[in-house]
C-alpha cells in the first residue's frame, strides 16, 4: 500500500464501472460502447447511465438481441483500429457468442500478429433472482482459451481500475461483473490514471495459518470468515486473484507455501473450475509445504434456482467458508 | 476505382482482371499439385471456377477498404493484394508464410492490406465484417467493408444478425454471397430455402443477383454497392452464382455429383469468358507473366524453412503470458 495520500470516494461497484467507462471514453475517441439496452436506459441495472448523453448515438448504441454479432462487432471494429467495449447483458448470453469470442477474437493476434483491443463486459447474475439461465459462472470456460484474458473483480475499486486496464489492454479481455456486488461499496481512488494491472492477485488480508483463494463475491465472504476465525486465534490469508487468466500463479504459490493450507471459494460448480485449477497449482508447486489436502468450497453440481433464498442456500456462504477454513486449519499442525 | 460499367471497361482493366483471375487459378492448381505431392500440411479448399467473384468483388476496392473471407478464400486474398509467394509459403507450412506457417489456408489474415482473414468457421466472417464496417463508420472514414460468404453460411444465425444490424445502422458494407452450388458435401438445395438475394428485402436493403462467372458484371454490381456504402447509404446483399469445380476439400473426389453436371458447370469458366474479350497476344503475355510469378512463388515457398517448434508459442498476447 502506498503511503501517499490518495483521494478516494466511497462508491458502489456499478459506479466504479461507470466511472471507468467515462474516463476511458473521455480519454480515447476510438472507444465506443455497444450492447443490448446500454444507451437509452443505461442498462437494466443502470450501469451505463449517462453515457449516451455524454458521447452521443454514434459511440453508445443499443443493439438488437444478437450476441454473436455483438462479439463480432467488437472484433471487426478492433481489427480496423478502434477500441470497442461490448456489453453482453448476462454471462449466460455469452454462450450465444462463443464462436466470435473463442474462435475469432481470441485467435486474431495468433493469425495476424496484430493487436485486438476488445473489451467484452458481462455480468454474472449470482446474487439476484435470476434463475438457471441468468446466474451461471462460466469464467473457467474462457480461461481454457489462449489469447483471451479473463477478469473478475470483487470490489468497486478493482472494478474501476481493472476495467480501465482492460480497455487499454492490447488483447481481447472478458470483464465479468457480478450482480450481487453491484451495490457493494468500497473506497475508490479518484485519480484518472488509477489502473489496476491485469494478472496480479490482491491479498486483502494477510495471515499465516491457512490461505483462502476467493473469487468474485466470495472475497467478501472469505474476509468475514477470516474475521470470525481470528477471534479463535486462527490467522487466515485471503487471496483474490482478480484476473483469472492469466492467473497469478506465483502469488498463489507463495501464499500456499507460507501457510501450508489452502481453501478455494467460488460461486461456480467444482468440476473443471478455477478452484480445481488452484488446487492443481498447489499440488504441482506446493506439495512439500502442504500440511493437509486442498479444499474446494463451491456450489454443488446442481442448477441455480430462481428465488434468492434458494439460490443463496446453494451458493457457498460465510459459514461454509469458515467451516472449511476451521477444519483445514485444524489439520497437519 | 469507383463505378465502372461494362461499356466503360477499358481493355487494360479487363486484361488486369484476367491476369488476377489467372494468377488465382494457377496458384491453386500449383498448390493442389503440392498437396498431392504431400507438401501441404493442412486442409485445402479450392476456389477454382469461382475467381470472377473474388476478383470482381475486390476490383472496386481501395487498399484501405477491408474484406473478410471464408474457408475457401485464396482468390479473395490474391484479389485484395496478398503476395502469392508468402501465401504459398503459408500453405506449405513455411516460416515465411503470412502466419509463420502455423495457420495454413484457413487462417490467412493481412490487416495491412485490409484482409481481415480467411476463416475456418462457416459464417464466422459475417459478424467481423459488420464490426469492421461499424468501426469505419464511427471513425468517420469513407472506407467500406466487403464480407464474402458462401450460400451455406446463409443458413447460420449470424447471417440474419449481421444483415439486420447493418441495415438498421446503415453500415458501409457489401455482403457478397458466393453461391457455388455446393455446401460442403451436399448440394445447395439441401441447405438453402428460396433465393438468398431475395432475403435482402426483408432486411430493407437492396438485393441483387449477378452472374458470378462474368467478371465485368460482378465489377459493375459490386462497384454500385460499394459506391452506395461509401456514400453512407448503407449495405447491399449480392448473390453471385458460380460453380465449384472440385470437391469441398483437396482429396474430396466429389463422387456425389455426376459428370454431366460438372462438365456443364465448368463450361461457364470465367477465365475463358474473359479471355475471349481480350487481344490474344496480350492474354498470352499476361499468362506468361503469371507463370513466372507462380514459379517464383513456389520457389520462394520451397526455399523457406519448414516452420518448426519455434513458431508454436510467440504471438498469443502482446506480452509474455503463461498459464
- A206 grid coordinates: 494477510
Q: Which of B108, B131, B317 sits opposite A76 (nearest CB)?
A: B131
Is residue B2 very low, low, confident or very high in pLDDT (cuts 50, 70, 90)? very low
Tens of pLDDT along B135-160? 999 999 999 999 999 999 999 999 99
Give the mean pLDDT of B109-130. Answer: 97
Residue numbers in B near A250 (CB within 8 A)? none
| DSSP run (H or E) holding A151 | strand A149-151
Tens of pLDDT along A16-54? 999 999 999 999 999 999 999 999 999 999 999 999 999
User: Are residues B99 and A73, on separate chains, in Cβ contact within 8 Å?
Assistant: no
pLDDT of residue B241: 98
Say yes or no to pLDDT of A6 above 90.
Answer: no
The rounded percent of chain B whose pLDDT value lies above 70 is 98
Tens of pLDDT along A254-268? 999 999 999 999 999
The answer, yes or no, to whether the previous bond of A246 is cis (omega within 30 of 0) is: yes
Catalytic residue from among A134, A149, A261, A314? A134
pLDDT of residue B287: 98
Under a CB-based contact definition with an 8 Å cutoff, are residues A34 and A73 in contact? yes
Q: Best mutation site among B122, B133, B138 for testing chain A: the one with the most A CBs within 10 Å?
A: B138
User: Mind telling me how many Å the CA of A76 is from chain B's nearest CA?
Assistant: 4
- Number of neighbouring beta carbons within 10 Å of residue B299: 12
pLDDT of residue A4: 65
Q: Which of B117, B137, B323 sits opposite A111 (nearest CB)?
A: B117
Q: Is A82 on the interface with B (CB under 8 A)?
A: yes
User: Mind telling me how many Å the CA of B69 is from chain A's nearest CA?
Assistant: 13
What Cα–Cα distance (Å) separates residue B217 from each residue in A115, A180, B212, B224, B315? 37, 58, 8, 11, 41
Say yes or no to pLDDT of A220 above 50.
Answer: yes
Residue numbers in A near B116 (CB within 8 A)? 76, 79-80
Architecture of domain A202-329: 3-Layer(aba) Sandwich (3.40)
Is residue A315 very low, low, confident or very high in pLDDT (cuts 50, 70, 90)? very high
CATH 3.40.50.970, chain A: domain bounds? 8-189
Say yes or no to pLDDT of B4 above 70.
Answer: no
Instruction: Determine what percent of chain B falls in helix, strand and coil, rounding each to the nearest 5.
Output: 50, 10, 40
Q: Best mutation site among B70, B118, B124, B135 for testing chain A: the one with the most A CBs within 10 Å?
A: B135
What Cα–Cα distance (Å) separates residue B40 from each residue in A327, B88, B267, B290, B293? 59, 10, 29, 22, 19
Strand locations in chain B (E)? 66-68, 145-150, 173-179, 182-183, 186-187, 207-211, 236-241
- Mean pLDDT across chain B: 96
Q: Best mutation site among B106, B170, B317 for testing chain A: the one with the most A CBs within 10 Å?
A: B317
CA-nearest of A24, A123, A39 to A83 is A24
- Mean pLDDT across chain A: 97
User: Are residues A81 and B116, on separate chains, in Cβ contact within 8 Å?
Assistant: no
Give the mean pLDDT of A66-70. Answer: 98
Say yes or no to pLDDT of A134 above 60.
Answer: yes
Taking a contact as any Cβ pair under 8 Å apart, which residues of chain A between 2 and 31 contact chain B? 30
The dihedral over CA atoms of A226, A228, A229, A230, expressed in degrees to the nearest 10, equals 80
A188-192, B208-212, B232-236, B281-285 — which is least confidently predicted?
A188-192
pLDDT of residue A68: 98
- B220 grid coordinates: 459493375
Q: Is A84 on the interface with B (CB under 8 A)?
A: yes
Q: Is A150 on the interface with B (CB under 8 A)?
A: no
User: Are residues B139 and A75, on separate chains, in Cβ contact within 8 Å?
Assistant: no
Say yes or no to pLDDT of B209 above 70.
Answer: yes
Q: Which of B132, B158, B318 sits opposite A171 (nearest CB)?
A: B318
Place of cell 450482480: A179
CATH 3.40.50.920, chain A: domain bounds? 202-329
Residue numbers in A near B128 (CB within 8 A)? 72, 75-76, 79, 100, 104
Query: Residue ranges per domain, chain B?
Result: 6-301
**CATH class of residue range B6-301:** alpha beta
Is residue A271 very low, low, confident or very high in pLDDT (cuts 50, 70, 90)? very high
Q: Which of A32, A69, A79 sits opposite B161 (nearest CB)?
A: A69
Active site includes A134?
yes
Q: Which of B107, B127, B143 sits opposite A73 (nearest CB)?
A: B127
Q: Is A247 on the interface with B (CB under 8 A)?
A: yes
User: Mind telling me how many Å the CA of A100 is from chain B's nearest CA?
Assistant: 7
CA-nearest of B316, B251, B277 to B100 is B316
Residue A222, phi then psi, degrees to nearest 5: -65, -40
Give the mean pLDDT of B43-71. Answer: 98
CA-nearest of B105, B73, B110 to B89 is B105
Tens of pLDDT along A90-125? 999 999 999 999 999 999 999 999 999 999 999 999
pLDDT of residue B9: 86
User: Mind telling me how many Å the CA of B315 is from chain A's nearest CA?
Assistant: 5
Q: Which of A69, A82, A110 sits opposite B162 (nearest CB)?
A: A69
Compute CA A64 distance to the chain's CA centroid, rounded to the nearest angstrom.
Answer: 26
Architecture of domain A8-189: 3-Layer(aba) Sandwich (3.40)
pLDDT of residue A192: 80
CA atoms within 13 A on the CB side of A145: 25
User: Are residues A64 and B134, on separate chains, in Cβ contact within 8 Å?
Assistant: no
Amino acid at each position: 500500500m502506498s503511503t501517499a495520500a490518495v483521494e478516494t470516494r466511497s462508491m458502489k461497484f456499478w459506479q466504479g464501472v461507470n466511472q471507468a467507462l467515462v474516463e476511458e471514453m473521455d480519454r480515447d475517441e476510438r472507444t465506443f460502447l455497444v450492447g443490448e439496452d446500454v444507451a437509452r436506459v443505461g442498462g437494466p441495472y443502470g450501469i451505463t447511465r449517462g453515457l449516451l448523453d455524454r458521447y452521443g448515438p454514434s459511440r453508445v448504441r443499443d443493439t438488437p438481441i444478437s450476441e454473436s454479432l455483438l462479439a463480432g462487432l467488437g472484433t471487426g471494429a478492433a481489427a480496423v483500429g478502434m477500441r470497442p467495449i461490448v456489453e453482453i447483458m448476462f454471462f449466460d448470453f455469452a454462450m450465444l457468442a462463443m464462436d466470435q469470442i473463442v474462435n475469432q477474437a481470441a485467435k486474431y493476434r495468433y493469425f495476424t500478429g496484430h493487436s485486438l483491443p476488445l473489451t467484452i463486459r458481462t455480468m454474472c447474475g449470482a446474487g439476484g433472482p435470476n434463475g438457471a439461465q441468468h446466474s451461471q459462472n462460466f469464467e473457467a470456460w474462457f480461461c481454457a482459451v489462449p489469447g483471451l484474458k479473463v477478469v473478475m473483480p470483487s470490489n468497486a475499486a478493482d472494478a474501476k481500475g481493472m476495467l480501465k486496464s482492460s480497455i487499454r489492454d492490447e488483447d481481447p479481455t472478458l470483464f465479468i461483473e457480478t450482480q450481487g456486488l453491484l451495490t457493494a461499496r468500497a473506497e475508490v481512488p479518484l485519480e484518472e490514471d488509477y489502473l489496476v494491472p491485469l494478472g496480479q492477485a490482491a491479498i486483502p488480508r494477510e495471515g499465516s495459518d491457512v490461505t483462502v483463494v476467493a473469487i468474485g463475491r466470495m472475497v467478501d465472504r472469505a474476509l468475514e470468515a477470516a474475521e470470525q476465525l481470528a477471534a479463535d486465534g486462527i490467522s487466515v490469508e485471503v487471496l483474490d486473484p482478480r484476473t483469472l487468466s492469466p492467473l497469478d500463479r506465483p502469488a498463489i504459490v507463495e501464499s500456499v507455501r507460507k501457510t501450508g493450507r489452502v481453501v478455494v471459494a467460488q460461486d461456480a460448480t467444482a468440476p473443471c473450475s478455477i478452484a480445481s485449477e488452484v488446487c492443481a497449482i498447489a499440488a504441482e508447486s506446493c506439495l512439500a509445504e502442504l500440511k493437509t489436502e486442498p479444499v474446494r468450497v463451491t456450489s454443488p453440481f446442481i442448477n441455480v434456482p430462481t428465488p434468492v433464498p434458494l439460490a443463496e442456500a446453494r451458493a457457498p456462504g460465510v459459514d461454509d467458508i469458515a467451516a472449511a477454513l476451521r477444519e483445514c486449519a485444524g489439520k497437519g499442525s | 476505382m469507383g463505378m465502372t460499367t461494362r461499356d466503360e471497361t477499358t481493355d487494360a482493366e479487363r486484361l488486369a482482371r484476367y491476369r488476377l483471375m489467372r494468377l488465382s487459378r494457377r496458384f491453386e492448381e500449383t498448390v493442389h499439385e503440392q498437396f498431392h505431392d504431400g507438401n501441404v500440411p493442412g486442409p485445402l479448399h479450392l476456389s477454382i471456377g469461382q475467381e470472377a467473384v473474388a476478383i470482381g468483388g475486390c476490383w472496386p476496392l481501395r487498399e484501405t477498404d477491408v474484406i473478410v473471407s471464408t474457408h475457401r478464400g485464396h482468390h479473395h486474398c490474391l484479389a485484395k493484394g496478398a503476395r502469392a509467394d508468402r501465401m504459398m509459403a503459408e500453405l506449405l507450412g513455411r516460416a515465411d508464410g503470412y502466419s509463420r506457417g502455423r495457420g495454413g489456408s484457413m487462417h490467412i489474415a493481412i490487416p495491412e492490406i485490409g484482409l481481415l482473414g480467411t476463416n475456418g468457421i462457416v459464417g464466422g466472417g459475417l459478424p467481423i465484417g459488420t464490426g469492421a464496417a461499424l468501426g469505419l463508420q464511427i471513425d468517420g472514414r469513407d472506407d467500406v467493408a466487403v464480407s464474402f460468404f458462401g450460400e451455406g453460411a446463409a443458413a447460420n444465425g449470424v447471417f440474419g444478425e449481421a444483415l439486420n444490424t447493418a441495415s438498421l445502422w446503415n453500415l458501409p458494407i457489401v455482403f457478397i454471397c458466393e453461391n457455388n452450388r455446393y455446401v460442403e458435401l451436399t448440394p445447395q438445395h439441401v441447405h438453402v430455402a428460396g433465393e438468398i438475394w431475395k432475403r435482402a428485402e426483408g432486411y430493407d436493403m437492396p438485393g441483387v443477383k449477378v452472374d458470378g462467372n462474368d467478371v465485368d458484371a460482378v465489377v459493375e454490381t459490386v462497384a454500385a454497392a460499394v459506391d452506395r456504402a461509401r456514400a453512407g447509404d448503407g449495405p447491399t446483399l449480392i448473390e453471385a452464382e458460380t460453380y465449384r469445380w472440385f470437391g469441398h476439400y483437396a482429396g474430396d473426389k466429389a463422387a456425389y455429383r455426376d459428370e454431366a453436371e460438372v462438365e456443364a458447370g465448368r463450361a461457364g469458366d470465367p477465365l475463358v469468358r474473359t479471355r475471349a474479350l481480350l487481344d490474344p497476344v496480350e492474354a498470352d503475355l499476361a499468362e506468361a507473366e503469371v507463370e513466372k510469378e507462380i514459379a517464383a512463388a513456389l520457389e520462394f515457398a520451397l526455399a523457406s524453412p519448414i516452420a518448426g517448434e519455434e513458431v508454436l508459442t510467440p504471438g498469443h498476447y502482446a506480452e509474455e503470458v503463461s498459464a
